[in-house]
Amino acid sequence: MAKKVVPAKRQAQAQDIEHLKQRLDLLDHRLDNIDSVVSAVAERIMMQPISFSMTCPRCGKNIEIAIIGSEKPTR
């Protein structure tokens, strides 16, 4: 025999589901924004050389890493 759900409880569940939908939409929008920023940075990297200089914490030597790209990344 199926249990009957109280109308107030059913309404609360519907509100919870609607709230989850809104939160997922916000998350989706934020992820789209992050994707756009990462894509823009990747395009800039591919257009010009970038070099990172750092010091090794163990030996103290300077390390230089150069990234050079000549083509726009494709999807």
DSSP annotation string for 63-74: EEEEE---S---
Query: How is residue 49 written in tokens?
Result: 């050389």
DSSP 3: P
Confidence (pLDDT) at 67: 75
Confidence (pLDDT) at 30: 94
Helix H or strand E segment including 51: strand 50-55
Q: What's the CA angle centered on 36, arms 30 and 39, to 5 degrees?
A: 140
Q: What is the pLDDT of residues 2-60, one digit of tens each?
A: 566 678 888 889 999 999 999 999 999 999 999 998 888 877 777 777 788 889 888 98
Confidence (pLDDT) at 27: 95
Banded model confidence at residue 75, pLDDT cuts 50, 70, 90:
low
pTM over 0.85, yes/no: no
